[in-house]
Structures are given as C-alpha cells and as structure tokens.
Chain A
Amino acid sequence: EVQLVESGGGLVQPGGSLRLSCAASGFTFSSYDMHWVRQATGKGLEWVSAIGTAGDPYYPGSVKGRFTISRENAKNSLYLQMNSLRAGDTAVYYCARVSYRSGGWYFDLWGRGTLVTVSS
C-alpha cells in the first residue's frame, strides 16, 4: 500500500527540541521530493520544509535556522529536527510527497499527521 506514516510528535516545552519521522512505503521514495506541512488547530495549511531527491533542503523564513529536514533513502524515511520550539509551532505536522506534473509541483500523497504541542 502506498502510504506515509508520521511519528515523533508530543508535548515539548518552549525552547525545546523534537524530531519527527515519516516512514514511506509502496513507492520509490528516493525518486520524490518530500515535504513537511503543518496545520494549527482550526487554521489553514502552512508549508514548513522541503527536501529534493539529492538532499537539498528548503525552508520558509518562519522556521529557517530552527528546523532541519533530512532523508534516509535506504530506510525510506523522512525526518524533521525542530529546535528552539515556540508556542506558534504547535500544530499537526504532515509528511507529504510532491509530484511534478504539467509544469507544477503538487502534494499528491499525505500522511495522517502527528501532533506537536509546545507548552509549559
């Protein structure tokens, strides 16, 4: 079955760290760019990070310098190391696969998400 399964979420204090994992199965993981997208409760979707097939990372300004995305193709796994966490980072974090189609990049496979709560 083609799927993504996230893990590693939980409760962390402000300033703390957490490492999320995403296990991929059913497709050739190494051939796809992979992303993390988050969603605060009752809010919209926010892109958090991306990693290309060659391991090149990309971040928005809101997490740059605090979050690090990485991948381990031999284990079909994606990771997100989150440091210096803030209350505003509280959200469900989704792992997502991106496919390039008709000139654009689209999120065509999503995991079920893992909840990160930053609170004292």
Chain B
Amino acid sequence: DIQMTQSPSSVSASVGDRVTITCRASQGISSWLAWYQQKPGKAPKLLIYAASSLQSGVPSRFSGSGSGTDFTLTISSLQPEDFATYYCQQANSFLTWTFGQGTKVEIK
C-alpha cells in the first residue's frame, strides 16, 4: 500500500502568516493527491484535488503544488477560520485510499 507522510504534525501560526504543509508519498502518485480541511466535530472538506486544482468555493489563499512523491499545501495569509487539521490523500490507486496522519494548524 502507498503510505502518506505529512510534516509537520502541528504548526503554530498567527493570523496573516504564510503556512506550508508537506506530504510525501511512499511511491510516485503523479498528481493524484488531494488536501482536506477538518474542523473539530465536523466532517472533512475537500480543498484541493489533482495536487493543485482548487475545489469550487474554496478561497484562493489555499494552493497546492507538487507531483510524484512530494506535495505541499500553502495558505498564503492565514485567517481565523483556517485553524483546523489538514489531511492529504492519495488518489492514485483505485483499490486503496490512504490519508496522511494530519497536520494541526494552531493559533500562536
């Protein structure tokens, strides 16, 4: 199975900061990667698919990049509503779906 490793596991940041989260796949997955945001007690929400495509309705301060094994999610200017946990997910294999362990973005 393809393993997904995120770093860091948590990050403390202030409103207005630029935040970058990385995700590494154990084998190449082309650009088949998604990013999700999850707030406490809520379901995950799709932010980015195909590594860099913004899901409809998601603010443009979110962006994704990468291909192969290394990917990043960037929040260009952190807003109060962005404090949450973020997960990457590989979408390369039809028969298995795996997520990263999550990165918690906390208030500094």
Binding site for B on A (CB under 8 A): 35, 37, 44-47, 50, 58, 60, 94, 101-108, 110-113
Q: What distance in Å separates the Cβ of A94 from its nearest Cβ neighbour in chain B?
A: 6
A103: which B residues are within 8 A, CB to CB?
30-32, 50
Cβ contact within 8 Å between B87 and A45: yes
Cβ contact within 8 Å between A45 and B49: no
Chain A, interface SS category = strand
- Among B51-103, those with CB < 8 Å from A are 53, 55, 87, 89, 91-92, 94-102
Q: Indicate which residue in A47, A101, A112 contacts B53 across the interface (CB closer than 8 Å).
A: A101
B19: which A residues are within 8 A, CB to CB?
none
Q: What distance in Å separates the Cβ of B29 from its nearest Cβ neighbour in chain A?
A: 8
Most buried by A among B42, B49, B95, B101: B49
| B28 interface contact, C-beta 8 A | no
Cβ contact within 8 Å between A107 and B95: no
Q: What distance in Å separates the Cβ of B42 from its nearest Cβ neighbour in chain A?
A: 8
A101: which B residues are within 8 A, CB to CB?
49-50, 53
CA A101 to CA B33, docked complex, whole Å: 11
CA A35 to CA B91, docked complex, whole Å: 14
Q: What distance in Å separates the Cβ of B41 from its nearest Cβ neighbour in chain A?
A: 9
Q: Given A105-B94, A107-B44, A108-B55 in contact, is the A46-B49 Cβ separation under 8 Å? A: no
Cβ contact within 8 Å between B43 and A102: no
Q: Given A101-B53, A102-B53 in contact, is the A107-B100 Cβ separation under 8 Å? A: no
Q: Indicate which residue in A44, A50, A58, A60 contacts B101 across the interface (CB closer than 8 Å).
A: A44
Cβ contact within 8 Å between B43 and A94: yes
Q: What distance in Å separates the Cβ of B76 from its nearest Cβ neighbour in chain A?
A: 22
CA A46 to CA B87, docked complex, whole Å: 11
| B34 interface contact, C-beta 8 A | yes
Which are the 3 A-B pairs with shortest beta-carbon distances? A104-B91, A104-B32, A102-B50
